[in-house]
Chains A and B, each alone.
Chain A
């Protein structure tokens, strides 16, 4: 065996610190390529050698993609650069979306000893988040909290909104943030020169760049939502306003935690129907309050105020027609679509009424007869059941919806109203039946109203899930942890469309019920 006594490691070369490593995680289509191109340009124009790599392929079709740049001061010999970012070895991490920042942390590209993390706080939701029937949106706060621990420095702003406000795209505002962060040894003008050397949209890019730069320097803090909400102040005839004042005072007189919700609920039901309907609503909420326990913080009243309002404002044809014909809707659309006076706005609605909706609008007795008759239902389907595209910028279609929306005065007599009322009564009775033995369970029953939503098939599925959950709860209502199970069942019902998670949870319940 040969001995190599003299073979001892040399001390690490201090010039190794000379390589700056920058990674960028983006969603396909966000312009990560443009951003890396600018970074290369600014580096090369300022005496650095630079290498960029990206992964070409299907990930660019809306998937998560990574871009990677290394640079070092130019010298006689070319440095050896790596082609991919390595965990624990990234100086600057730019992420063009909040969850991508989370992904960069998970992949180890953000470390406390060195990484400056620049991330946009906006969300481009993944399909898995969007398709849940409930609320599947990932928790952004967790990512931001992790970023604070993982990064040496964190720079956050809604760089997407900043860019859009300047008529540009996020690559430009992120480039500005990179410049503003001071993480690269180049002056602001050098960055701007890189943008100018590019092809198109230079002015917009420079504006977004400036916004990003200032955000990174802490000059502009994204305006927080005002903590104090504007009070609900309707406009209308004096007589109605006086009645509104009386009703809103009644709502405000409820216990603190319920009053806010009741005011919103009151607004919703009055907007849905009329002031008398509002009075009806308050009576129901007050009836719940009479049985409530102050020791529990009036949770029951609060949830009742919320869900009774939702139950009373069911989605019938009249409501949809009314909402679609209001003036402020037209204003909102014109603003959203950027319609100016020189433009003409054409507006197409997509309606597809079925026999059920038509029967629901009929007077209760007649409607019930029609609904019970397959022949009549088939006839109604033949007449009405087809997709209708209504041009509500035109008088004909607008008038039709306007008239439908005006049928409010007849609403209380319709079949649909009767059905909705019966459903609500049943639901409230179930909650009431548990109240004496298990307060928390009664609150959970009220919350189950969340399951009823959507139109046509989706609505039917919601109702059947609601029934299933209530039936499941009945099985375990005697247990001490019944409220907890009720919550679990409801959450399971909101996980997927077919109710697989719910069926699984119900199977579990049956195994011990």
Chain B
């Protein structure tokens, strides 16, 4: 079960012709797929398109009714490979994953798909994880389209234009026998708005029907000599067909006056940002009517020379707004101008920065700089010669702490890394490689465990150079998501085959947790349409890894610590693998909270645990926090002039996971922590016995109080 449920929202996917849909971008995308007769959908989760996978999973009933097959693919490569169904069959297919990392993983399949060419429309919806909020290296998906010759759509970021792009994408794909990648940026995925819906359309040929009438054609197979023919076909037929389709259907748009000395060329996805800058300069109105001509590239690959040159007609200087690096579009447009012998001066990187997100300020500064050079008369006097008397706002950069993401309250991964830190205190620092997933937060303070990440499922593989062993064993950490994504083959068979001496810790939290709690092969959940409950340890045994330690409660810090120590010091031959299993607390709470509330209401006995700190026992050295970092374990300044340092304090959000007590014990920290279990609806005898104990304790307390001075709380 995913972290966020779209069960209510997917009802909107049934809206028919002429109705209005209001909601999020990802739902609009799904609706558009259904309106365009998609035959199969799939993908792999990852921000910013995780929720698109969740929407599809929650819409499985509706998809079934329409004869659409939904596949939660094992990884992005598997998702892209699924588009093979559109090679021979006239079936529209769509897959989704994040860019650029998902595209990296998928690139083998995408290259083969692009070479073979498609009959049915093939759409790859990529959530481009670039700029603020991104969790990956800052790269572009753009060049994948260039190298494999498939087409890239980057529509204007509003619901109607995104929905239109889905239809355009399928049609373009079919018109040019080429897969099409539809790029949506981080904020576009969750942008809200409205659009007019159409009826959902059943696929004219379902994947089921296709199985009844199998097709094959060796001309489509990527083998010589056909592969050479594919390349020629790409440039001689498919590319020109795509350009024709783009022109005939006006996929790219023009705004503003026809006649002006300057113009702006912009990726569709950056259009609103350009308009906002122009609005702020008084050069566009609220509806986007611009005083500067704008050429919007809703298709950013291929670029159509004739259309661009026509836009440049009569202009002296043109600005290209292209986010990310290197500047593929600008370079291509410059080449168009040069070949046409044009004297139009092209601006781009230079007035705008080469790297980084084009935020509102960057865009305002860039366009201002362009107009200062190209059309200073257009700038209002204040912009030309700013003479503002702005108040000096104090510099807070030394005051405000950074707040990177971290483990949630009660996260089962915290005790694993607390144990790891304790082992490193004993045995010294180790070579540690990490993977992709929540566990990567351990590389940040307070744990600072792990020095590199090479990609999803590649944690142990990233230690391969050290497989031969040495004085201290290398340690690799990988999540269950990474294990099933790619880790089993790329990391663990690599370890087993090369007889690695190393240690791998698999963090098994029952879900692909970092991406929003989707089920994986080893999830413990019942899932009607997916095979779950396949233990990771069984898979390890299957590939000949026999030194496997299964831990079923990661919160047992001492056991965790002793097991890691054993793996690092045992004489047994490697690989040494620890499977550390406990359920993701975010998902566990979501599942159990309502059940617990219901049980209390029904009068059943429920223990609600929470931790606390005795503030007069705590000395304020914060050693516990350096082994935790839990959001609910914080500090409190005491109203006591005798005390200099704030003491530890646990707030109401504590879920009673036990890490505090375990760590205080395992690391021999201090006796400040206590766990309070509030028993709701206690049994009759339990309540009586508790009352008796409390009376006896009360008598003892009164006895001692009578003999000394009591200062109260």
Contact = CB atoms under 8 A, between A and B. Distances in A.
B454 interface: no
B712 A106 contact: no
B570 interface: no
A348 B607 CA distance: 13
Interface in A45-64: 50-64
A9 B642 contact: no
A454 B619 contact: yes
Given A80-B272, A324-B617, A4 B259 contact: yes
B283 interface: yes
Given A8-B377, A29-B631, A349-B674, A128 B273 contact: no
A40 B407 CA distance: 30
B interface majority secondary structure: loop
Interface stretch (A13-21, A287-295, A428-436, A438-446): A13-21
Contact of B679 (A84, A270, A343): A343
B645 A63 contact: no
A262 to B, nearest CB: 10
B675 interface: yes
B641 A127 contact: no
A157 interface: no
B385 interface: no
Nearest to A232: B711
A472 interface: no
A55 B273 contact: no
Nearest to B653: A29
Contacts of A2: 261, 314, 316
A11 B642 contact: no
Contacts of A267: 711
A131 B401 contact: no
Contacts of A63: 403-406
B393 A56 contact: no
A232 B687 CA distance: 37
Given A40-B192, A345-B679, A129 B635 contact: yes
B10 to A, nearest CB: 16
A1 B405 contact: no
Interface stretch (A330-338, A360-368, A481-489): A330-338
Most chain B CB neighbours (cut-off 10 Å) among A85, A127, A240, A395: A127
B334 to A, nearest CB: 20
Interface residues of A, number: 153
B262 to A, nearest CB: 9
A235 B677 CA distance: 31
Interface stretch (A136-144, A183-191, A415-423, A500-508): A136-144
A457 B621 CA distance: 11
Interface string A52-89: 11111111111111101000100001111111111111
A14 B406 CA distance: 45
Nearest to B270: A83
A51 B641 contact: no
Contacts of B641: 260-261, 264, 306
Interface string B458-484: 000000000000000000000000000
Given A54-B190, A61-B441, A130-B625, A86 B704 contact: no
A131 B708 contact: no
B380 interface: yes
B48 A57 contact: yes
Contacts of A138: 399-401
Contacts of B671: 320, 324, 349-352, 455
Interface in B618-641: 619-623, 625-626, 629, 631, 633-635, 637, 639-641
B623 A458 contact: yes
Given A309-B642, A347-B675, A454-B623, A78 B158 contact: yes
B394 A146 contact: yes
Interface in A86-121: 86-89, 99-100, 102-103, 105-106, 108, 112
The 8 A-B residue pairs with the shortest CB-CB distance, nearest first, are A86-B360, A55-B133, A12-B282, A387-B665, A63-B405, A57-B47, A80-B288, A453-B619
Interface of B: 22, 47-48, 50-51, 129, 132-135, 157-158, 185-193, 259-261, 271-273, 275-276, 279-280, 282-288, 291, 314, 316, 359-361, 363-364, 375, 377-380, 390-394, 396-397, 399-408, 438, 441, 444-446, 514, 558, 607, 610, 612, 614, 616-617, 619-623, 625-626, 629, 631, 633-635, 637, 639-642, 644-646, 652, 661, 664-671, 673-682, 686-687, 690, 693-694, 696-698, 700-702, 704-713
Given A18-B286, A87-B359, A315-B619, 18 more contacts: A19-B286, A56-B186, A57-B186, A62-B406, A63-B403, A83-B187, A112-B391, A124-B634, A126-B402, A130-B629, A149-B393, A271-B709, A274-B708, A306-B642, A337-B678, A345-B678, A393-B697, A497-B626
